[in-house]
């Protein structure tokens, strides 16, 4: 090795030793910050297969029957899916804050246009609709297209698949809170993923999502989940829900 090469190698070795000493020194000197809050241990949840249901989910429709739905006998259950007809259906159980997974498909044979094409909806609380619509190359008012929080906020993007193809919504619903006088103390919020794409990002709910009047809150408690029949044979499958609650930590005095 030449003199220059030997000298370079020694410099690199010195740098390495210096760096190592610095790193060890910083570890010895550092002190972990501790909040003092005692958090409960997060529950273990088996996420299940892709698309769920996770182990802590309430299965609302597994393809066999609509026994958990009031009015479910009106809809056609066939080939693992439920087809809307003859009126809306709603869960027999009541829910507040929750995560809902639902898969839907608008009719493969395209009929109608705008709001008349593959229209249904998933309702929470008093009357809060996450719109279901065939929005594949089908123009309508933006706050009424698929994934809109109806008449409140359009989706961030249009992630709609073609008519007849299965699509998914993953909806996180934070229910509005009311005091004992029925006054709103905290608005509701929706976060929605459409086919895995974020389309509502913690969107504030302004009240009932009516067609004919501006959004207005009406006090309510836990409520059924409702699926709309809007004259179109929209199909549904793989519906499950997880009830959500915030952990209750012990905080330092």
* Tokens read off for 226: 């409702």
> Between 147 and 188, whose beta carbon lies closer to Mg ion?
147
- Which 217-246 positions form the footprint of Mg ion (CB under 5 A)? 228
> Between 152 and 228, whose beta carbon lies closer to Mg ion?
228
Q: Minimum Å distance from CB 129 to Mg ion?
A: 6
- Report the candidate in 46, 90, 52 with the shortest Cα–Cα distance to residue 71: 90
144 binds Mg ion (CB under 5 A): no
Ranges of H-type helices in the chain: 3-29
| Count of positions on this chain that bind Mg ion (CB under 5 A) | 3
CB neighbours of 213 closer than 8 A, spacing ≥ 6?
A: none
- Report the candidate in 179, 173, 149 with the shortest Cα–Cα distance to residue 225: 173
Residue nearest to Mg ion (CB): 121
The separation between CA 215 and the C-alpha centre of its own chain, rounded to angstroms, equals 21
- Distance (Å, rounded) from C-alpha 118 to C-alpha 132? 7
> Between 200 and 242, whose beta carbon lies closer to Mg ion?
200
Q: Minimum Å distance from CB 229 to Mg ion?
A: 9
- Which 113-142 positions form the footprint of Mg ion (CB under 5 A)? 119, 121
Residues found near Mg ion in the complex (CB under 5 A): 119, 121, 228
């Amino acid at each position: 090795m030449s003199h220059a090469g030997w000298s370079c190698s020694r410099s690199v070795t010195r740098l390495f030793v210096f760096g190592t000493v610095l790193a060890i020194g910083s570890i010895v000197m550092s002190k972990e910050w501790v909040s003092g809050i005692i958090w409960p241990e997060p529950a273990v949840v088996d996420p299940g297969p892709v698309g769920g249901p996770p182990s802590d989910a309430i299965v609302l429709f597994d393809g066999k029957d609509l026994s958990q739905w009031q009015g479910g006998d009106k809809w056609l259950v066939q080939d693992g899916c439920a087809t809307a007809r003859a009126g809306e259906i709603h869960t027999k159980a009541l829910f507040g804050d929750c995560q809902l997974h639902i898969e839907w498909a608008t009719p493969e044979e395209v009929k109608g246009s705008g709001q008349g094409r593959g229209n249904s909806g998933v309702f929470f609380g008093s009357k809060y609709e996450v719109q279901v619509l065939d929005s594949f190359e089908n123009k309508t008012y933006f706050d009424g297209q698929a994934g809109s929080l109806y008449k409140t906020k359009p989706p961030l993007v249009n992630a709609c698949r073609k008519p007849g193809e299965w699509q998914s919504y993953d909806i996180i619903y934070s229910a509005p809170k009311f005091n004992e006088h029925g006054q709103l103390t905290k608005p509701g919020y929706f976060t929605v993923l459409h086919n895995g794409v974020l389309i509502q990002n913690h969107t504030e709910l302004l009240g009932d999502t009516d067609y004919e009047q501006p959004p207005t809150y009406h006090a309510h408690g836990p409520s059924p989940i409702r699926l709309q029949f809007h004259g179109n044979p929209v199909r549904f499958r793989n519906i499950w829900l997880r009830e959500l609650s915030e952990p209750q930590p012990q905080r330092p005095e």
